[in-house]
Structure 1
Amino acid sequence: MKQLGISIYPDQSTFAKDKTYMDLAKKYGYKRIFTSLLQLIGDNGEDLLSIFKKDIDYANKLGFKTIVDINPALFKELKINYKDLSFFNKLRVWGLRLDEGFTGIEEALMTRNPYRLKIELNMSRGTNYLDSIMSYDPDRSNLIGCHNFYPQEYTGLGENIFLDYSRKYCKYGLHTAAFITSPSAKIGPWPVHEGLPTLESDRNRSIASQVTHLRLTNMIDDVIIGNAYANEEELKAAAEAFNNPFPVLHVDLKPGLTETEKKIILKDPHLYRGDASDYLLRDTKPRITYSKESIPAHDNKGTFNRGDIVMVNEKYARYKGELQIVLQPFANDGRRNLVGKLNQNDSDLLKLIKPWNTFILQEN
């Protein structure tokens, strides 16, 4: 089951604020919580642990599943052996995320813990790390993956690396997760506040577009907001984008469109015709549904550019009403109307829409 998640940082805030945030996230259907225990290393670790436990207990009361970020150094600090995970069972967490891993055999043995704790691997590590773990026959039902987030601007994963590393986990059928960032949130594990996305290209996107981006990769199950606290508008927008039956692309419509044109663009989902062109993404259904409607020619001079939303007008006879999205520039011969353009947030996502995909266009 795919789930939305939030992040909390008890050492950076107060229980009252975390409680309010968890209550709000629950309202919009969020199920997962990420937090980091790496801050427990040091002299005040015991005091911090009691603060974390209070948050985790409340999260459990609300039905959240909490994953805690750890590494081998923390095991050593807390005098925990990877063969005995009772400490984390007593903490009542759902699982452990290994920000830094062991050698492979330890991770595999950890998946066979008697508490059924999930062992979440750092998907952003790449290399042959996952293959090494799989060679030791882990319990796959307890093995999941989650990418890193990147506080420093320009250091997030590039698209190709992200897809390459994610593909390794999909090959083994493992549950996956990645982070998006809230534009309004300012709290994270480190004193850098430039967002906490997995993908660098998501750092300045709207939160809904970030969700759609991860959905369109078809490689990520759970989407987690990396920083705190996202505001209610953002929590709602992310949930709507995540739970919509189809991915949503936002458009800026041209002023003065007819009601028929608006209906064709916004009313029904669009199906990318399978016999695809290099120049146009085509949805041919509207030319049947709206065959008796008038679509006069307008805004049909100059050149169409990538991301333009165009509609075939009455000058093109049987193709009238067909909705198209421009994939590469071509001259407008007067038989298509320019009716809008993909919003800047979503224009880069066009490359992830594949033939026979269904999607929704929504006015920005």
Structure 2
Amino acid sequence: MLGFSVFLGEDLTADTQAYIKNMSKQGFTGIFTSLHIPEDDATKYAARLTDLGALAQELKLDLMVDISTKALNSIGLDVQTDLLQIKKMGITGLRMDYGISMETIATISNEMTVGLNASTLTENDVALLKYHQADFEQMELWHNYYPRPETGLAREHFIEKNNWLHNLGLSVIAFVPGDGQLRGPLFEHLPTLEEHRTTHPLAAAIDLLDYCQVDAAYVGDSSLTYETRQQFSSYFSQATMSLRIAETIETHAHLFIGTHTNRVDDARDVVRSQDARFKEIPLIEPENTATRSIGSVTLDNTNYARYMGELQICKTTLPADPKVNVVATIISEHRNLINYIKPGQHFTLYKKGETN
């Protein structure tokens, strides 16, 4: 599952509404927002949350709201007495934070989805929730995002914690950075894992979902660029990794621009397109047989005999080879996606301005 964040520091503008609608179109199914961000004017929350909830209902998006008792009271609602009104606003889940007892959390879980802090949940908390007859099928474990550099979680402990949470039968949600509008006041991205802070958002999401025992990845920052949204859609809807290239040479561009399939016998050093064998390959003379850095797109030339025309993307830096032409380079922002191209998976190479 994929989700994104919409913050209430400003009114729901036409641009923000268009962004939410586009995210829904690209396959995102959940919205996260928070009622206790120190920099925001909390007196504006009620109207903005009402507008956001209405749009979420219209688009059939889940809406998880991060709350504390004080934050909810600031908009005139009480978590124990106003659940029906909260649900009518389009809010489908409440992430419980400061000042809410386990007994109250257990009661609410029998009425709607409850999010708990995945990083701080203890065995004693779980015991109390069971004692108060919480509905664990309506509970989710949400990790924090970390605005301050160097404070994000470490990978090993993160995975260990997620394994424990899964053993309890609970789903786990974590955050990846955005690459559009970043949230202030630091503007240093909002990931859960520190190692993801400057990682491409799609690479971080794949890492969480495939390798870190996470069930849903939400974008922590305020937005993704349009290009990145398309990459998410291509990957999760069409199982295709889309990568933008900066061309090095124009010769035989029709052989590398477009969609390819990674070989099932996935190589250690390179992504190998299996499609060359199904194409009519023209004579490829040696040209730009330079050092093959990470992200280099290469075509084997006539010196490679029957391998002429094979297309590869370098996962690691390789030496120059008179049999291999470097024809393009994956742009730096997309290079950490290369290692997430799976065996047998489609990948598309496109130039700036083209549809990925």
Which of the five TM-score ranges fits, normalised by the shorter chain?
A: 0.7 to 0.9
Matched residue, 1:213: 204
Match of 2:287 in 1: 298
Contact 1:69 1:98 in 2 (8 A): yes
Residue 129 and residue 198 in structure 1: after superposition, are their counterparts in 2 closer, same or farther (change >3 A)? farther
Partner residue, 1:61: 58
5 Å-filtered alignment, 1:254-333, equals 254-263=248-257, 266-271=258-263, 273-274=265-266, 276-277=267-268, 280-283=269-272, 285-290=274-279, 292-301=281-290, 303-333=291-321
How far residue 66 of structure 1 moved from its aligned partner, in angstroms, is 1.2
Q: 2:20 aligns with which of 13, 17, 25?
A: 25
In 2 relative to 1, CA 39–86 (structure 1 residues): closer, same or farther, beyond 3 Å?
Answer: farther
In the other structure, the counterpart of 2:92 is: 94
> Are 1:142 and 2:133 matched, yes or no?
no
Per-residue deviation at 1:158?
4.9
Query: Is the CA contact 2:35–2:45 (under 8 Å) kept in the aligned structure 1?
Result: no
Would the aligned equivalents of 2:301 and 2:308 in 1 still touch at CA under 8 Å? yes
Closer, same or farther: CA 22–326 of 1 in aligned 2, 3 Å: same
Aligned residue type for 1:5: F
Letter in 2 for 1:14: D
Q: Which amino acid aligns with 1:93?
A: I
In structure 2, the residue matched to 1:358 is 345
When normalised by structure 2's length, the TM-score is 0.73
Is the alpha carbon distance of 1:259 and 1:331 closer, same or farther for their aligned partners in structure 2, counting shifts above 3 Å? closer
The range that moved more, 316-325 or 213-222, is 213-222
Q: Deviations over 1:80-105 (max 9, x none)?
A: 45x99556435441011234697878
Distance 1:106 1:258 in 2: 66
1:295-323 deviation digits (Å, cap 9, x = unpaired)? 2222224x433332222222222222222
Q: Following superposition of structure 1 onto structure 2, how do residues 236-247 of structure 1 map, counting pairs within 5 Å?
A: 239=233, 243-247=237-241
The Cα shift of 1:21 comes to: 1.8
- Where do residues 336-351 of structure 1 align in structure 2 (5 Å cutoff)? 336-351=324-339
In 2 relative to 1, CA 25–318 (structure 1 residues): closer, same or farther, beyond 3 Å?
same
CA distance in 2, matches of 1:286, 1:33: 39
The answer to whether the 8 A contact 1:156-1:198 is kept is yes
Mapping for residues 107-186 of structure 1, pairs under 5 Å:
110-111=108-109, 113=110, 115=111, 117-125=112-120, 139-158=135-154, 160=156, 163-166=159-162, 168=164, 174-185=170-181
Give SS of 1:331's match: coil
CA distance in 1, matches of 2:55, 2:73: 28
SS of residue paired to 2:240? coil
Aligned to 2:34: 36
Distance change >3 Å, CA 80–CA 146, structure 1 → 2 = closer
Partner-residue secondary structure (3-state), 1:271? coil
Listed one character per residue, the Cα deviations across residues 3-49 of structure 1 (whole Å, up to 9, x for unaligned) are 4434131xx2225x2x6523442144244222212369xxx978744
Q: Distance in 2 between matches of 1:347 and 1:103?
A: 45
In structure 1, give the amino acid aligned to 2:347: I
Letter in 2 for 1:297: P
Q: TM-score, normalised on structure 1?
A: 0.72
Q: Distance in 1 between matches of 2:125 and 2:349?
A: 39
CA distance in 2, matches of 1:105, 1:318: 70
Instruction: Give the percent of matched residue pairs that are identical in Structure 1 and Structure 2.
Output: 22
CA distance in 2, matches of 1:186, 1:326: 31
Alignment-mate amino acid for residue 141 of structure 1? E
Query: What's the CA shift for 1:164?
Result: 4.9
Distance 2:329 2:284 in 1: 18
Mapped partners of 1:215, 1:306: distance in 2: 20
Shift of 1:178: 3.5
- Check whether the contact 2:231–2:242 (CA below 8 A) recurs between aligned residues: no
Q: Is it true that 1:5 corresponds to 2:4 in the alignment?
A: yes
Contact kept? 1:67, 1:95, Cα under 8 Å: yes
Q: Deviations over 1:168-199 (max 9, x none)?
A: 556667544443444442556xx444333334
CA contact (8 A) 2:260 2:274 kept: no
* Contact 2:241–2:341 under 8 Å retained in 1: no
Structure 2 CA distance for partners of 1:132 and 1:342, relative to 1, 3 Å:
farther
Q: Kindly provide the amino acid, as one letter, of the partner of residue 344 in structure 1.
A: S
Distance 1:79 1:24, change over 3 A: closer
One-letter amino acid of the structure 1 residue matched with residue 114 of structure 2: I
Task: Compute the RMSD of aligned alpha carbons.
Answer: 4.1
Residue type at the aligned position of 1:245: A
1:120 offset after TM fit, Å?
A: 2.2
